[in-house]
Amino acid sequence: MRLIPRSIHGRMLALSVLATLVALAVAGAAIAGVLQRFVTQGLDQRLDAELSLLAGAVGADGRIDRAKLTRLRGLLDAGPEWRWQIVAPTGTIGSDVLADLDRRPPLRGGPHGERPPLDEPGRPYPLDAVQARGTGLHARQITLTTSAGPVTLTAAAPRDVVARPIRAAILPLLATLAILGVLLGIATALQLRIGLRPLRALRDGVAAMRRGADGVSENQPEELRPLAQELNALARDTSTALATARASAANLAHALKTPVATLALAVRDDAAAAAQVARIDATIRHHLARARSAAVDRRASTALEPALADLASTIMRLHAGRAVAITRTVQPGLMVAVDAADLDELAGNLIDNAMRHAVSAVRIDATAEGAIDGGRIRLRVVDDGPGIAAEDRARATAPGVRLDERDDGHGFGLAIARELAVLHGGALVLEEAPGGGLAATVTLPIAGAR
């Protein structure tokens, strides 16, 4: 089990939650401490007031005015657990429980943790005691100087007087802190969602680049703008390198295919020489295929209908002397994930081959199959010519093979179309057309499916 989340969102959220919990705990403890000090100070003021009343019943000679104490009992007895005591040279008046008071007062929080001096005349100080049944008492004590000797006055109240308001306030305090924590959590989640939105947009932009977009938007926050610029520079460099490699492969292919085809025709009656030429041709095509495969632009996107329209128009002009009509049925808006040059060569070879053998008509159909994301385009070129026998169709896509010796072709058209289809993740299938003729069907990826 991973303690640290993998995502940036998860890490920042976990850190924020941890910091919020620590801050709330510290705030709760601080508020509780302040509340306890405030309540204790209020109690001390009440006990000091009782000490003032008790002091009024002590004369300068140390005698206790019992009649006055009797009149003050209503003010001194604030509750069943409240206690008071006067210890004088002439005797003790009040609760005996206070004889058990801890004579070590609590620390006053001085810079060195010092305790106030005990029995300092005229200065009250706090004391604590525990009654026999375990009830805690908080007391204030003062020592008066009289002619008969020191007189000690003590006023005490149950510790519950301090604890009760704190207990009453702690539940609302915890509820308030919990609500504050939830609000901070929601605010943190919203902040992270909004703050990380540019990263998600940049991720989507990179994915769009793989589907054919020119680059990512450089309108990014200051921290992400250099990354977007570097991504765009990398995409431009990659496109330049691909274009150079494609041009080199195409130049080499055009430079070699005609001489090799001519040589193959020249030595076709010599089996040994023909075999060597075929071997040379296979080696050249193998290395050209590897070079072209490395140069395939996986981000390419080409509109299919305009490309087919231009090809049909061009090939009609090339075969202007033949009374063959070309019809097209192309699903609108189709984008094929093939470079424009490769699409021209692939579809051009299929249409040109159909025009060479058609009697009167060539039909071009293009439709999408499956979902747009992950789907395929089915391009079908049909002619009404003599067609190709079933046993010869596999051989017809081999390089340099000419099943019809009457025309001036070199036997590379269908082979090039098949290689380009496979290179882009598709396939070429030759079938008999309904009513006779050849139907060449090629499948290619829809732009955005990769």
For residue 165, give both structure tokens: 């308001």
Nearest CA-CA partner of 326 in 300, 348, 295: 348
Rg of the chain on CA atoms, in Å? 49
Residues 6+ apart with CB under 8 A from 341: 246, 250
How far apart are alpha carbons 37 and 35 in whole angstroms?
5
Average the pLDDT over 167-175 and give the result: 84
How far apart are alpha carbons 115 and 214 in whole angstroms?
78
Average the pLDDT over 268-286 and give the result: 76
pLDDT band at 328 (very low <50, low <70, confident <90, very high): very high
Q: pLDDT for 6-52, tens place per residue?
A: 778 788 888 888 888 888 888 888 888 888 888 889 989 999 998 99
Q: Output the pLDDT for position 185.
A: 85
Q: Output the pLDDT for position 351.
A: 92
Q: pLDDT for 216-266, tens place per residue?
A: 888 888 888 899 899 889 888 887 887 777 677 767 766 776 687 778 788
Query: Would you say 359 and 385 are in contact if contact means Cβ atoms under 8 Å apart?
Result: yes
Query: Would you say 84 and 95 are in contact if contact means Cβ atoms under 8 Å apart?
Result: yes
Say whether pLDDT at 405 is over 60.
no
Q: Which of 22-31, 251-260, 307-316, 441-450 shows the lowest per-residue confidence on average (mean pLDDT)?
A: 251-260
Q: Output the pLDDT for position 447.
A: 82
